[in-house]
């Protein structure tokens, strides 16, 4: 398994101008490495549906690279989206799943069949252009540029170390972040999309 | 003897309203009742169809398209709308974008007792989410579709069109 922060550290060097949508417990690490926050987007709001929103964004902005950092728990809540994405064939879409095999934010309970599922296999058989699996950082680092250059939809499953949270939600300390509305506003400004 | 033809909502009227309101994408789950509309929409230049696997996806996809500056509509059945409750909450109501959702009103009828629970709970569901809606049954009602778009844009909220002719005009 790989530390999530290391995934983002390696990815940042290959990000280019891509729009990045981080989700889940692991996704919080992206803030430590991003150098272009105007192209970072928070699309959370309903677990499992950030994937749908990322697809919609990719379809609506075909000239922009869209990279989603998903989680396996969220993907399991909306597995049909794999077929939907594969059917639409967004060439600009890269779908990365950080798989910590559990619901880290609720105490680390395992997701169903946590250690036996082949997410990349499901994506590939659903019709993604290509699919990768990694549980070694060096291997990911070797392939990440190829992944970013590949014609989408591309799927990447990465085994990451769980960062389990057990404190009651009300006692958790979170660093200040931009809200979803703020990230949408900033991205639209960056891309010159007028607010209606 | 003159046989009076029943008034129906034609797919052409629906597509015309979409065009009038600048719709770019129809995010949908095709079904047998709306198949003719689906075929007609596929033929329209500038109107992209996004087939989905489950209705909950449609609201997230629509949000992404809205952020990208597009004008999507969601086209689903009332059963799927009810399945989509958390998506409607988190990806539409909380997001503050205008969205017209066209909902097939399965089980609804004007002339008898409604026995299909899909119809029984449709309007209570929309009322619980405080989503305004307009019933469209025939071409003469189709201007309500533009009314829904205007209301959605003015309020930055979802507005529903309930298609009460699901088993009739669209399935000719």
- For chain B, domains (ranges, CATH) are 11-171 (3.40.50.970)
pLDDT at B7: 66
Nearest to A78 among B27, B57, B69 (CB): B57
Of the candidates B92, B61, B67, which has an alpha carbon nearest to the alpha carbon of residue A61?
B67
Q: How far is B3 from chain A (nearest CA, A)?
A: 45
> What pLDDT, in 10s, does the model give residues B19-77?
999 999 999 997 666 677 888 888 888 899 999 999 999 999 999 999 999 999 999 99
Q: Which residue of A has its CA nearest to B156?
A: A196
> Does the domain formed by A4-191 have CATH 3.40.50.970?
yes
The alpha carbon of residue A67 is apart from the nearest alpha carbon of chain B, in Å, by 13
Percentage, residues of chain B above pLDDT 90: 69
Q: Is the pLDDT of residue B167 over 60?
A: no
Mutation target among B64, B154, B155 for the A interface, most CBs of A within 10 A: B64
In the prediction, which pLDDT does A167 show?
A: 80
**The total number of residues written for chain A in this structure:** 196
Sign of CA dihedral A73, A75, A76, A77: positive
Chain centroid to CA A50 = 9
Of A41, A53, A83, the CB nearest to B60: A53
DSSP type of residue B172: -
Residue B172 has pLDDT above 60, yes or no: no
Residues in chain B: 172
How near does any CA of chain A get to the CA of B49, in Å?
9
Instruction: Please give the residue that has the higher pLDDT: either A105 or B82.
Output: B82
Closest-CA residue of chain B to A78? B57
pLDDT per residue, tens digit, chain A (196 aa), is 999 999 999 999 999 999 999 998 778 899 999 999 999 999 999 999 999 999 999 999 999 999 999 999 999 999 999 999 999 999 999 999 999 998 888 888 999 999 999 999 999 999 999 999 999 999 999 999 999 999 999 999 999 999 888 888 788 777 778 899 999 999 999 999 987 6
CA distance A29 to A91: 26
Does B4 score more than 60 pLDDT?
Answer: no
- A76 vs B113, which has greater pLDDT? A76
pLDDT for res B112: 81
User: How does residue B136 score in pLDDT terms, banded at 50, 70 and 90?
Assistant: very high
**For residue A176, what are the contacts with CB-CB under 8 A and spacing of at least 6?**
none
Domain ranges of chain A: 4-191
CB spacing of B67 vs A45 below 8 angstroms: no
Residue A23: strand, helix, or coil: coil
Query: What's the pLDDT at A161?
Result: 93
Lowest mean pLDDT among A84-93, A103-112, B95-104, B148-157: A103-112
The span from the CA of B94 to the CA of B96, in Å, is 6
Residue B6, pLDDT score: 59
Q: Which residues of A touch B59 (CB under 8 A)?
A: 46, 49, 52
Q: What are phi and psi of A137, to 5 degrees?
A: -65, -40
Handedness of CA B84, A125, A67, A164 (dihedral sign): positive
């Amino acid at each position: 398994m790989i530390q999530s922060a290391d995934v983002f550290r390696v990815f940042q060097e290959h990000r280019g101008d891509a729009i990045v949508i981080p989700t889940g417990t692991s996704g919080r690490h992206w803030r430590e490495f991003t150098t272009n926050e105007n192209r970072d987007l928070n699309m959370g709001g309903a677990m499992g549906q950030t994937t749908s929103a990322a697809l919609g964004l990719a379809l609506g902005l075909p000239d922009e690279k869209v990279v989603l950092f998903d989680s396996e728990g969220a993907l399991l809540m909306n597995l049909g989206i794999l077929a939907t994405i594969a059917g639409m064939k967004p060439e600009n879409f890269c779908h990365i799943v950080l798989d910590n095999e559990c619901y880290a934010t609720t105490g680390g309970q395992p997701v169903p069949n946590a250690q036996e599922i082949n997410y990349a296999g499901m994506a590939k058989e659903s019709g993604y252009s290509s699919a990768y699996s990694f549980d070694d950082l060096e291997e990911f680092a070797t392939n990440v540029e190829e992944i970013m250059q590949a014609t989408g939809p591309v799927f990447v499953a990465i085994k990451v170390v769980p960062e389990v949270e057990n404190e009651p939600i009300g006692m958790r300390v979170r660093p200040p972040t931009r809200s979803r509305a703020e990230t949408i506003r900033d991205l639209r400004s960056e891309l010159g999309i007028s607010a209606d | 003897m003159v046989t009076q033809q029943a008034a129906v909502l034609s797919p052409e009227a629906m597509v015309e309203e979409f065009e009038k309101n600048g719709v770019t994408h129809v995010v949908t789950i095709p079904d047998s009742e709306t198949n003719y509309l689906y075929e007609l929409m596929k033929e329209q230049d500038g109107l992209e169809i996004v087939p989905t696997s489950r209705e909950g996806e449609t609201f997230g996809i629509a949000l992404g398209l809205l952020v990208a500056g597009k004008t999507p509509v969601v086209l689903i059945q009332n059963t799927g709308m009810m399945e989509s409750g958390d998506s409607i909450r988190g990806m539409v109501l909380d997001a503050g974008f205008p969205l017209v959702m066209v909902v097939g009103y399965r089980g609804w009828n004007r002339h008898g007792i409604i026995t299909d629970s899909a119809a029984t709970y449709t309007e209570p569901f929309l009322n619980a989410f405080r989503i305004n809606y307009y019933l469209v049954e025939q071409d003469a009602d189709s201007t309500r579709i533009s009314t829904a778009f205007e209301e959605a844009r003015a309020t930055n909220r979802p507005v529903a069109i309930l298609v009460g002719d699901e088993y009739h005009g669209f399935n000719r």
